[in-house]
Amino acid sequence: MFGTAIIVFREVLEASLIIGILAAATRGVPNSKRWVIAGVLAGLAGSGLVAAFTDAIGSLASGIGQEIFNAIVLGIAVLMLAWHNIWMSSHGAALAASAKSAGRNIADGSSERSVLLVIVGIAVLREGSETVLFLYGIAASNDGGQSSMMLGGLVGMLAGIAVGYMLYAGLLRVPMRWFFAATGILVLLLAAGMASQAAHFLIQADLLPSLAAPLWDTSAVLPESGLPGMLLHSLIGYDSRPAGMQIVFYLTALVSIFTGMKLVARPRQTSI
Amino acid sequence: MKHILLIALLLPFSACAADYMLTIKDHQFQPAELTVPSGTKIKLQIENQDASPEEFDSHPLNREKVISGHGSATIYIGPLSPGRYTYTGEFHEATAQGAIIAQ
């Protein structure tokens, strides 16, 4: 039961941290919570589909279909997160003001809400499909001990959700003057981490050279299997044995998105 | 002429990674220890003969992949320096364990 709990916890944690950060980061956008929930539901439905079609996806492209699928999904997520951060950079001040007065409609807030839906949906889809497969395998097997394993899965899921919620609640407590900077940085690191993960899958599929593998090995000091390693992996894309190409993707995403944010945030010249 | 063209097209592929095979049966990897040459890219084929899915997970190799029940998967690893690289089946860690030895 404990083993099952850990596996499900790990998967759910990755998604719930992303959702927690985004839910906090979009607090000023009207009805954002509804869109987060819609994203979660869409992601769950999607992950059921992906789990059912794992075989078909996997055998696409001579056996590397799964890696290509994951890389594409992650790539979409990176673009959406980049869009979100750049959007926030141009609307952040207006949102900070409106967060205090409810009901004010931000122009083109609807596009931000769709982006929110897509990112949340993708996060749940990726982690959910692995969890669905795993739990389905347990339920379908004749090994016995299923109820304790299912219970372990439930415990893991609740624990993962709890950590994500704690992050969300904690972020909401950040004073308003630092809030958008804090969530902006977290989203930036999320996007860079996902870019690194996408590179990892493409390397696994032999579609990208690894450059140096591994570039460093900190698995003795900070293994990904422990809780700190897990949190760092989900939040900033930490990898104890990254390939050189992953670092290239990470830094490229970081610099491009940051530059985009700075470019749109230039203060407008007021006419005198 | 056609045959020469075909061979010419296929020649580059002969320099590609060699095939190695792992089988998952009764939640165990067979062979439990696989020896491969170091310094060259390896193409690993994993066949899951169990009905339940498994996730091939190796931190030393930095690879992970889900393989559905009665499915198969392809993973590229390496080039590896000589050494022992462990992997597990994440869904059945107690029994599904193995190592790849690069020489």
pLDDT band at A138 (very low <50, low <70, confident <90, very high): confident
Q: Which percentage of chain A shows pLDDT scores above 90?
A: 42
Nearest in space to A139 (alpha carbons), one of A45, A4, A3, A15: A4
Using one digit for the tens of pLDDT, what is the confidence trace for B5-52?
Answer: 655 554 444 345 668 999 999 999 999 999 999 988 889 999 999 988
Using one digit for the tens of pLDDT, what is the confidence trace for A25-38?
Answer: 888 777 888 899 99
Residues on chain A touching B83 (C-beta within 8 angstroms): none
Question: Are the beta carbons of A231 and A192 closer than 8 angstroms?
Answer: no
Q: Tell if the CB–CB gap between B59 and A242 is shorter than 8 Å.
A: no
Going from the C-alpha of A252 to that of each of A9, A72, A76, A78, A117, the distances in angstroms are: 30, 17, 16, 12, 25
Residues on chain A touching B102 (C-beta within 8 angstroms): none
Q: Is the whole-model pTM more than 0.90?
A: no
Rounded mean pLDDT of A10-31?
Answer: 88
More confident residue, A10 or A105: A10
Nearest in space to A9 (alpha carbons), one of A145, A162, A119: A162
Q: Which of B19, B27, B76, B93 to mutate to test the interface with A (most CBs of A within 10 A)?
A: B76
Residues on chain A touching B71 (C-beta within 8 angstroms): 54-55, 58-59
Residues on chain A touching B69 (C-beta within 8 angstroms): 137, 140
Highest mean pLDDT among A60-69, A82-91, A180-189, B65-74: A180-189
Q: Is B36 on the interface with A (CB under 8 A)?
A: no
Nearest in space to A215 (alpha carbons), one of A249, A239, A250: A239
Q: Tell if the CB–CB gap between A224 and B76 is shorter than 8 Å.
A: no
Q: Tell if the CB–CB gap between B59 and A225 is shorter than 8 Å.
A: yes
Q: How far is A18 from chain B (nearest CA, A)?
A: 21
Using one digit for the tens of pLDDT, what is the confidence trace for A139-171?
Answer: 766 566 678 888 888 999 999 999 999 999 999
Q: Tell if the CB–CB gap between B63 and A204 is shorter than 8 Å.
A: yes
Domain boundaries, chain A: 2-264
Q: How far is B3 from chain A (nearest CA, A)?
A: 24
Q: Tell if the CB–CB gap between A133 and B74 is shorter than 8 Å.
A: no
Q: Tell if the CB–CB gap between B69 and A137 is shorter than 8 Å.
A: yes
Question: Are the beta carbons of A73 and A125 closer than 8 angstroms?
Answer: yes
User: What local confidence, expressed as pLDDT, does residue A146 receive?
Assistant: 74
pLDDT band at A98 (very low <50, low <70, confident <90, very high): low
Q: Is B71 on the interface with A (CB under 8 A)?
A: yes
Which CATH code of 3.20.20.210, 2.60.40.420, 2.40.10.10, 3.90.1150.10 fits the domain covering B17-102? 2.60.40.420
Residues on chain A touching B52 (C-beta within 8 angstroms): 137-138, 140-141
Q: Tell if the CB–CB gap between A55 and B71 is shorter than 8 Å.
A: yes
Mean pLDDT, all residues of chain A: 85
State CA A39 to chain mean position distance.
12
Nearest to A133 among B63, B68, B94 (CB): B68
ipTM for the predicted complex comes to 0.70
Q: Tell if the CB–CB gap between A7 and B65 is shorter than 8 Å.
A: no
State the sign of the Cα–Cα–Cα–Cα dihedral A247, A251, A257, A260: negative
| Side-chain half-sphere CA neighbours of A27 within 13 A | 20
pLDDT band at A107 (very low <50, low <70, confident <90, very high): very low
